[in-house]
A and B are shown apart, each in its own frame.
Chain A
Amino acid sequence: MLDRLEFLLNEAFVSLRRNKWITFAAITTSAMALFIIGGFAFAYFGLASFAGNQESKFDINVFARTDASPEQVQALGKRLEKLDGVKQVTFRSKAEVWKEFQTENPEISSGLEIENPMPDTFNITFSDLKKAKDIVAYARKMPEVAPKDGVQYMGDVQALIEQVMSAIRWLGLVLGTVMLATGGILIYNTIRLTMVARKKEMRIMELVGATRQTVWTPLMIEGVAEGVMGALLATAVLWIAHSVVAKLLETSLSVIKVGEFPLLLTTIVLCLSGAVYGLVCSYLAIRERPTEELPR
């Protein structure tokens, strides 16, 4: 078994050595494709995680009408709590809000002898950020809510993050697909060139009675090897890029803390993807071998 494997691997690596430059091109293009897809996936999931961590910051403040009775305010709070997508509703009375304002802004409020202008306030955090818009629209229509500026909402920031995530997703998909196609064509061409270069060996194998698996397996191994080598290269470049970007973000935007690079997971995922990708490309190249060259 090991002896057989050694023969097949040796056959595959003979081809890799023989077509050095086209192999190099196939590996680097596959690496670029996997790097782009992997890089965009990192950016996307990183931003999604960042947005998730920021969810508590995308809270809204709902202000009750100043002339609303305590019963009406209490009923408003209960209705807000029941809304789908609401995580928590925290009530702060107008007195608490006023006191907080006076504490935070002593230069403005000191010496003022005016009636408390602050409304009763509900602070809402979300369990599902996507429903924030609906909740805001619903709250604005409630009769107990102040008609003008009754809801304070950081919708623009959230919309911006969603747009960036969408752009990353599409850009990654388009660029990744283009690079994948290019890498695939190169692997395909490499295998086709190998078949031309090894025509004599393949003919001899067929004449002496080698099975189709014996003739084809080295070519499939070659495709898989190119995919995996591309994946390893992509992992290394991603790792370097991740540490550079992390350092930049942490020094320029000290609030952002970029997580550790998941080296093992990235290596496994990219190598598996590269192997499947190489296998498919080489299979397609072998399958299209002209019928007169096939062992009948």
Chain B
Amino acid sequence: MATPAPYIQLKKLEVAYNDYVSGLRGVSLDVNRGEFIFLCGQTGSGKSTIIKVLSCQVKPTKGDAVIDGRSLASVTPEEVPMLRRKIGIVPQDFGLLPNKKVWENVGYAMRAVGRSKHEVRDEVPAILERVNILHRADAYPTELSGGEQQRVAIARALINNPPLLLADEPTGNLDPGHSDEIINILLDLNSQGTTIVVATHDIMQVERANQRVIQLAGGMIDKGDHDEELLQHMHEDPLEFPTES
């Protein structure tokens, strides 16, 4: 029986922001459907660049990134919106609209992708319930804790019921308690079949989640695949990642 093709493939992926700054320098990686992976590394290691490539915010300079058989190197601007509807994106800064309530933030995104008011009314409560934030539906983002705001951002990323969720530092601004909540939500979504890619430097959460870990350094994969030695090293000195000699 043939092995199914990986859901995400990075093929010698290179991203150069300009002549002097490289985001990625030849990253190759396969992620299977339904997997949960952590991309770890220092600031500037390239983890957010991978998220940006996969969400079509940055185009590969060399090599390719493939999602579900679709090459992102050759994607046209007209195709990007439809591709993004198959990907939930949770940005680092939550990206919530302060003048809209929680349910309006989610509803606004749904309206932007062509859903009717009727659909918004019907579907928003269920989406908010999935991330345990329905009880704050009428609150404004400024009235929410960091963890609650992150849950709203995840809820918004789920409006298209995407098979892939990309989260950039979802626990970056949160205390350990709220970080646990967010990772639990992501693990729960993963258990329902959603492929999850998380860029993070939150070692405690990486260790606790016990999922696949890819460590990046200087735009390249340094170590990967749930390396005990790697986790041990990260735990001891989270700012000093081992680099290839």
Contact = CB atoms under 8 A, between A and B. Distances in A.
Interface of A: 3-4, 7, 200-201, 203-212, 214, 294-296
Contacts of B80: 295-296
Residue in A3, A203, A204, A214 with the greatest tally of chain B CB atoms within 10 Å: A204
A56 B130 CA distance: 86
Interface in B154-213: 156-157, 159-160
Nearest to B110: A208
A296 B81 contact: no
Nearest to B52: A296
Given A214-B114, A295-B80, A296-B80, A208 B85 contact: yes
B159 A208 contact: yes
A209 B57 contact: no
A214 B56 CA distance: 18
A214 B85 CA distance: 14
A200 B97 CA distance: 7
Nearest to A210: B112
Q: From DSSP, what is the main secondary structure of chain A's interface residues?
A: helix
B97 A294 contact: no
Given A210-B112, A295-B77, A204 B95 contact: yes
Contacts of B116: 3
Given A208-B160, A296-B57, A4 B114 contact: yes
Interface in B95-113: 95, 97, 108-109, 111-113
B222 to A, nearest CB: 28
Given A207-B89, A295-B80, A296-B80, 13 more contacts: A3-B116, A7-B111, A201-B108, A204-B109, A204-B156, A207-B95, A208-B84, A208-B85, A208-B109, A209-B81, A209-B84, A210-B81, A296-B57
Contacts of A209: 81-85, 113, 160
Contacts of B57: 296
Contacts of A208: 84-85, 89, 109, 112-113, 156-157, 159-160
Contacts of B84: 206-209
A296 B109 contact: no
Interface in B66-87: 75, 77-78, 80-85
A75 to B, nearest CB: 79
A296 B56 contact: yes
A3 B156 contact: no
Contact of B97 (A4, A201, A211): A201
B23 interface: no
Contacts of A210: 81, 112-113
